[in-house]
Amino acid sequence: MRKKIIILYSFSLLCLIFALFLCFRVYKIRRPYPTMKVNTSHGEVIVDNHKIYCANISDKPIINLAEPVYLATSGDVTSHSGEELILAVGDSGRDKKKYFVCVAIEEGKGKVVAKSPADIYNPWKFIIADTNLDGKLDLACGVKKEAPLHPVFCKRMFFFGIDEEKQKFYPIFLFSRLSSRLEDFTFADVNGDGKDEVIALLWKTAQERCILCYRWIGNGLEVISESLDIHGNKIDADKNNIILEYESIPKEEFFQSLKLIP
């Protein structure tokens, strides 16, 4: 009798542990990331983990992805009408399964038009820009990985395009590194030529950071300007401003502080 009771208690304990494990997995899948809002030509799109809503279309999800989204942006990167959503889907952790996904919105529904594995890239930032100045918008992606010519796990900047026929992402240019170790980057027209340049926040030394601006030259980037030291860890741009971690600076004022290199 005593042996049966021990077996019963042991079985109950195992069932409880298994139930707790399932609850943890469900919570992790359903609630790992905060809700994101993305402005698109279709209206404001809300990304709630694995579900995507568009208030202008319906109060129901326009698409339900199998895994949660942890990065999202939008841009007209395919021949489909309007802007598409570019997403990083899966687990943001290192060496975890993740994907690049492009979702087009057609007839009130979301449709996956391109999908590629992103495990080896570990994406941490998305910007839609004409990266190689061919007149088409591409994906500038911040990644965390080693490179053949620089075997250190750190932040890098890669450019990707979308092959609509094969329904997948393809690399345009994969930078091993810039002038020094990358911390963050954005795109803006620095020299007034109507073309966006890369504005990169780099580590000048182990304690100091600076900003360098690069332009595309057909087979890579070249430096066109450099700045004084910067103390923040993040940089971004909107229509009128350069946004640093602690302040927002009008573009004209920011560009005047750069030392242009002929």
> Average pLDDT over the chain, rounded to whole?
87
The model's pLDDT over 126-156, given as tens digits with 9 standing for 90+, comes to 999 999 999 999 999 999 999 888 888 999 9
Question: Is the distance from CB of 74 to CB of 54 less than 8 angstroms?
Answer: no
How remote is the C-alpha of 12 from its chain's centroid?
44
Please give the C-alpha separations between residue 229 and each of 16, 190, 207, 223, in angstroms, as whole numbers.
56, 18, 10, 16
65/27 Cα distance (integer angstroms): 16
The model's pLDDT over 30-48, given as tens digits with 9 standing for 90+, comes to 457 889 999 999 999 999 9
Instruction: Please name the residue that has the structure tokens 């395919």.
Output: 78
What pLDDT score was predicted for residue 183?
A: 94
What pLDDT score was predicted for residue 26?
A: 47
Q: Strand 181-188 vs strand 197-203: parallel, antiparallel, or unpaired?
A: antiparallel
111/85 Cα distance (integer angstroms): 10
Question: Is the distance from CB of 77 to CB of 65 less than 8 angstroms?
Answer: no
Q: Strand 69-75 vs strand 84-90: parallel, antiparallel, or unpaired?
A: antiparallel
150/111 Cα distance (integer angstroms): 38
The model's pLDDT over 190-199, given as tens digits with 9 standing for 90+, comes to 888 889 999 9
The model's pLDDT over 150-190, given as tens digits with 9 standing for 90+, comes to 888 999 999 999 999 999 999 999 998 888 899 999 999 98
Q: Which residue has the higher pLDDT, 69 or 210?
A: 69
Query: How large is the average pLDDT for residues 206-235?
Result: 85
What pLDDT score was predicted for residue 225?
A: 87
DSSP 8-state secondary structure symbol assigned to residue 83: P
What pLDDT score was predicted for residue 27?
A: 47
What pLDDT score was predicted for residue 232?
A: 78
Stated pTM of the model: 0.83
pLDDT exceeding 90 applies to what percent of the chain? 58
Instruction: Please name the residue that has the structure tokens 């004022």.
Output: 253
